Amino acid sequence: MKLFSRCGLPLLIAVPILINSQFFFHLYAHQKVTSGTRIIHGGDFTLKSAEGPLSLKDLRGKVVLLFFGYTSCADVCPISLATIAYTFSKLTHVELKRIRSLFISLDPERDTPARLKKFTGYFHPNIIGVSASMEVVYDVAEKYGVKVERKELPDSDLGYAIYHTAEIFVVGPQGELRKTFPHDIDGQPLLHQIKSLLNIEQS
């Protein structure tokens, strides 16, 4: 909870955790960025939101933050979304019109568009939950260098967990990948990066 205290958000994630008891299981169900050189191509993709298909190119002109995870992830995903929500809370009304975040579910088996919308709604209205078939989602993950591994958990109510690379990807207004941040980054550097890109686009 150190991050939330530092960001002034000690209670932000309490609601979704209490609503879904599955969050208390398997706090290890994630994977930090692996060592070594990764190739991150980035690029466009089309996934499904609760409002219908959504492509990265549909958000041209906006700064877009991407995070790969799933709603049953106990700690990493809520921390990341709380960090993103914190940075959004520091933006003006005008700036908020020019930024979005996509929470890309790596667990389409459980994460329906309706479930994703409810989950992201706990954090910020500018965070949109999206997913697709396993094949499509994993292809997008590969484009962004995200490692994904499903592990069966026969002794857990969850049934399985998904280990995944935990990074926040910052995509510029023209759809280009500009920077990545660790999932537990302090909100200020992320906020600075966002404002810099918004100012560059405006100038």
pTM of the predicted model over 0.85:
no
Residue labelled with tokens 């994460």: 111
**Per-residue pLDDT averaged across 5-20, rounded?**
38
Tokens matching residue 63:
């700064």
Helix ranges, 90-169 (H): 93-96, 113-121, 134-143
Report the candidate in 87, 89, 103, 75 with the shortest Cα–Cα distance to residue 1. 75
Per-residue pLDDT band for 11 (boundaries 50, 70, 90) equals very low
Please give the CATH superfamily to which domain 69-203 belongs.
Answer: Glutaredoxin (3.40.30.10)
The set of residues, in sequence order, having a beta carbon less than 8 Å from that of 30 and lying 6+ positions away, is 69, 73, 75, 76, 77, 163, 164, 166
Per-residue pLDDT band for 201 (boundaries 50, 70, 90) equals low
Q: How far apart are CA 2 and CA 9, in angstroms?
A: 10
Assess contact for 21 and 27: CB atoms under 8 A: no
Domain boundaries, the chain: 69-203
Beta bridge partners of 53: 48
pLDDT of 22 over the 70 cut: no
Per-residue pLDDT band for 75 (boundaries 50, 70, 90) equals confident
Per-residue pLDDT band for 87 (boundaries 50, 70, 90) equals very high
Assess contact for 152 and 159: CB atoms under 8 A: yes
Q: How far apart are CA 179 and CA 65, in angstroms?
A: 10
Cα distances (Å, whole numbers) of residue 163 to 32, 33, 109: 9, 11, 15
Beta bridge partners of 180: 169
- Residue 199, SS3 per DSSP: helix
Instruction: Tell me which amino acid residue 52 is.
Output: G
Per-residue pLDDT band for 31 (boundaries 50, 70, 90) equals very low
Report the candidate in 54, 201, 23 with the shortest Cα–Cα distance to residue 127. 54
Per-residue pLDDT band for 173 (boundaries 50, 70, 90) equals very high
pLDDT of 153 over the 50 cut: yes
What DSSP state is assigned to residue 175? Answer: S
The set of residues, in sequence order, having a beta carbon less than 8 Å from that of 155 and lying 6+ positions away, is none
Assess contact for 166 and 148: CB atoms under 8 A: no
Note the pLDDT tens digit of each residue in 157-172: 888 999 999 999 999 9
pLDDT of 73 over the 80 cut: yes
Q: How far apart are CA 53 and CA 31, in angstroms?
A: 28
Residue labelled with tokens 């088996």: 109
